[in-house]
Amino acid sequence: MPTIHGAAAPSRFSAQSIASLKSILFGETTQVYFEGLQPLNAQANLNKSISASVTGGNLVLVQSSIGTNWQINGRDKIILLEEVGERGYRVDRMLEHLVQANVFKEAAAIILADFLEGEEPDGSSLIKAVLERFAQSCEMPVVRLKGIGHGYTNFPIPLGTDAVLQLGKEISLRCSR
């Protein structure tokens, strides 16, 4: 069933994020387009196009659904993950759990959206290193997309709908609603 991953509280998110969500909800927009995605592994640099639906969402929720009726099926899909407030070692552990549960086994690609906060007690962050190490271990393309998650800028993205991920020199994502 198609859903939208996006901002839900108008007072907490940017006006642009809320306007984008309303545009999708009220049928003013039939596609969302994201450009400037960053490659995180060699497979993302290959000049190819992937047509698949996008699934996923918050990493903690995706990980906690393993073994339930709600576990996502990543087969032939683009898996989007985002997180807020989790430290690097916890993000690493959750991603490894998803690997061991074969969630990524036959995925078409992985999009790592915003991973916010999660600082170590000394104020540093291990998130970037964890995500890069994870991406390097993946056999499918892994890209980074900022502006989707729990930050002030939180653009909506349709899940369970047709999408095209263009890889190579200029990486982009187009989703239909």
The domain locations on the chain are: 3-176
The answer to whether the beta carbons of residues 125 and 91 sit under 8 Å apart is: no
Name residue, tokens 């903690």. 60
- Going 50 to 52 to 58 to 60, the CA torsion angle's sign is negative
pTM above 0.75, yes or no: yes
CB 136 within 8 A of CB 32: no
Q: How far is CA 92 from CA 12, 23, 107, 115, in A?
A: 28, 35, 19, 12
Model confidence pLDDT, tens digit, residues 30-39:
899 999 999 9
Burial class of residue 136 (count of CB atoms within 10 Å of its CB; 0-12, 13-18, 19+): exposed
In the CATH hierarchy, which fold is given to the domain comprising 3-176?
Glucose Oxidase; domain 1 (3.50.30)
| Residue linked to tokens 């991406």 | 135
Q: Which pLDDT tens digit goes with each residue over 78-125?
A: 999 999 999 999 999 999 999 999 999 999 999 999 999 999 999 999
Give the confidence band of 6 by pLDDT, cuts at 50, 70, 90. confident
